[in-house]
Amino acid sequence: MTIGNALNQLIEDINAKKDVDPKASYSASLIQAGPKKCGKKLGEEAVEFAMALIGDDEGEITNEAADLLYHFAACLVAKNIDPHKIADVLSARRGIGGHVEKASRKND
């Protein structure tokens, strides 16, 4: 499975669980707590992933990366963001150097 397919499936799974009893589903409890809680958890997971990168444990790095992507997906669901819009932005940026793309956003 590709990471893109896995992320699509993850978003679908979180969407399917967002309205169930929060006692029965971590996804539901996170989404129902709102975007602020989702963002806080995303930040925590980003730090844990960054710290894992300092070490040499590939298993820890991949697990923390998965946690980070899970919470990223939960944030999208919490804010009702269509992931296709993100894919469109990434697609539009393809082939544009990072410095050029970043400079173009400063004028927005």
**Confidence at residue 102, expressed as pLDDT on a 0 to 100 scale:** 75
Would 23 be classed as within a structural domain?
yes
**Confidence at residue 95, expressed as pLDDT on a 0 to 100 scale:** 86
**Confidence at residue 107, expressed as pLDDT on a 0 to 100 scale:** 60
| Helix %, strand %, coil % of the chain (to 5) | 80, 0, 20
Q: What is the CATH number of the domain that holds 26?
A: 1.10.287.1080
pLDDT tens string, the chain, 108 residues long: the values are: 999 999 999 999 999 999 999 999 999 999 999 999 999 999 999 999 999 999 999 999 999 999 999 999 999 999 999 999 999 999 998 887 778 767 777 665
**Confidence at residue 21, expressed as pLDDT on a 0 to 100 scale:** 97
Domain containing residue 46:
3-82
